[in-house]
């Protein structure tokens, strides 16, 4: 039944998106030190450099993505891994 299958896919996709949004919101509230100036910022105000390094708006360069951008580019499961890793500290 192709029609039913497609409805199921739509629903699970919406659930995934909502779930991802929650993860991103939580992730954005995390405090992260800038790798350039070592001042702590909320992740949602930061920029992602290479090797998952985070920089503030003063230290970023034009190759880096703002949180809002890289949140959409990054694999959410990886974000979650990073977020969960931090709980061990």
- Out of 7, 14, 37, 82, which residue is the one contacting Zn ion (CB under 5 A)? 37
Q: Does 74 bind Zn ion (CB under 5 A)?
A: no
Among 23, 59, 76, 83, binds Zn ion (CB under 5 A): 59
Q: Does 43 bind Zn ion (CB under 5 A)?
A: no
Q: Does position 40 bind Zn ion by CB under 5 A?
A: no
Tell me how far apart the alpha carbons of residues 1 and 5 are, in angstroms, rounded to a whole number. Answer: 6
Q: Stretches 6-14, 44-52, 58-66, 79-87: which one binds Zn ion (CB under 5 A)? A: 58-66
φ/ψ region of 21 (left if φ > 0, alpha if ψ in -120 to 50, else beta) reads alpha
* Exposure b/e, 28-44, CB count within 10 A at least 16 = b: eeeebebebeeeebebb
- Among positions 2-31, residues that touch Zn ion (CB under 5 A) are none
Among 34, 48, 71, 79, binds Zn ion (CB under 5 A): 34
Contact 60, 47 (CB under 8 A): yes
């Amino acid at each position: 039944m192709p029609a039913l299958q497609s409805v199921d896919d739509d629903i699970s996709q919406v659930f995934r998106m909502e779930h991802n949004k929650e993860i991103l919101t939580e992730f954005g509230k995390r405090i992260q030190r800038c790798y350039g100036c070592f001042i702590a910022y909320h992740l949602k105000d930061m920029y992602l450099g290479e090797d998952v390094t985070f920089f503030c708006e003063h230290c970023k360069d034009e190759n880096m993505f703002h949180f809002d951008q890289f949140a959409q580019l990054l694999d959410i499961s990886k974000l979650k891994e990073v977020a969960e890793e931090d709980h061990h500290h």
